[in-house]
Amino acid sequence: MNKKRVVIGMSGGVDSSVAAKLLIENGYDVIGLFMHNWEEDGDDGACCAAADFDDARAVSAKLGIPCYSVNFAAEYQERVFAYFLDAYKKGRTPNPDVLCNREIKFGPFSRYAQTLGAEFIATGHYCGIKQFKNDTHLLKARDTQKDQTYFLNQVKTKQLSNVLFPLANLHKSEVRQIAKTENLVTAKKKDSTGICFIGERKFKKFLQTYLPAQSGDIVDASGRVLGTHDGLLYYTLGQRKGFGLGGIAGEGQNRWYVIGKDLAKNRLIVSNGEGEELFSSVLTMQDVNYIGTVGEKHEFRAAAKCRYRQEEQPCTVFTQNNKTTLRFDTPQRAVTPGQYAVLYQENRCLGGGVIV
């Protein structure tokens, strides 16, 4: 009996390593594929791609499967990084990892896997999937602290039609233990954090390389000038440090925080207090993507996350004239343009959209 072939994205981390091991145990013909998504000259190049590829190959050799590499740097520059820079130019705070999943991992990667004879692709994401005859549901992982459905909210339903997520029912501690038992080189490897292409460098220094910024005034809500900022693109809504405001006569001793950006006048707007200006009960989003059949989209109840680590917040979703609005049961702090609002109903991720 011929085994079904699966091509798994091998990142050089512990999650994809164990996912590959589980696929083999479940009788699949497994091929590892490592993606090079970023190219940069110099000793401080991001992502440590060479070291990660070495780890991916070492794990594959240990598991007895082939491991190839493919370069998607051009596609990444065009489909992800260009969007990232454009969003910052517009004063937003983008999340490139969300786009990378839709535009690279479940796009060119999937098509390349088919040239290797793949019937399925797989990743080390912490999430689940349920296929119906005419529908697909994206499900939260058993390990709620590691659940990554937030980052998959823009992946199209069709892109998930032949995907396997082997870690859906495992906790991170169990994944680590499997890697240790199998003596995989990634067993104790630190999880990657932050944006891949920035690596260990300071975020501000990285942005300065691509987006030379223009300094301007820091003002309060009344327009009073309090100081000077280095460039609006370096700040995000709710930020409480990094803009050099100390004690100011007549003001309380609370920390200053960002409450807005005036792009036309290049002004950073801040306030001193408890952050009451940052709370809002309604948000609007665009580029809304629903995963699987959602049913009546004109108005329905759901829960939403406006950032990855946030707890799900009950809300009502309204769609009219191609405009989608979320009205929360309780006000939310620092709803940030450029980030994603992701919708849930119980254990299912419905998809999401870009906050505007």
3-class secondary-structure state, position 317:
strand
Name the CA radius of gyration of the chain, rounded.
Answer: 22
Write out the two tokens for 253.
């001793």
CA–CA gap between residue 78 and residue 75 (Å, rounded): 5
Q: What is the sign, positive or negative, of the torsion defined by CA atoms of 104, 101, 146, 157?
A: negative
CB burial of 317-326 (b: ≥16 within 10 Å; e: otherwise) equals bbeeeeebeb
Q: Are 238 and 336 in contact (CB under 8 A)?
A: yes
CA–CA gap between residue 314 and residue 303 (Å, rounded): 4
Q: Are 108 and 75 in contact (CB under 8 A)?
A: yes
Write out the two tokens for 270.
């801040």
349 catalytic residue (yes or no):
no
Out of 100, 127, 306, 349, the active site residue is 100
Q: Are 215 and 229 in contact (CB under 8 A)?
A: yes
Question: Bridge partners of 279?
Answer: 333
Closest CA to 30 of 131, 126, 122, 165: 122
Torsion angle of the four alpha carbons 115, 117, 123, 128, in this order, in degrees rounded to the nearest 10: 120
100 catalytic residue (yes or no):
yes
Out of 47, 67, 127, 196, the active site residue is 196
Residue located via tokens 């992946």: 155
Q: How far is CA 41 from the centre of its chain?
A: 25
Strand duo 225-229 + 216-219: pairing: antiparallel
Question: Bridge partners of 226?
Answer: none
Write out the two tokens for 328.
């929360």
How many Cβ atoms sit within 10 Å of the Cβ of residue 175? 24
Which are the contacts of 81, defined by CB distance < 8 A and separation ≥ 6?
Answer: 96, 197
User: How far from each other are the two terminal CA atoms of the chain, in whole angstroms?
Assistant: 52
Active-site residues, by number, are 100, 196
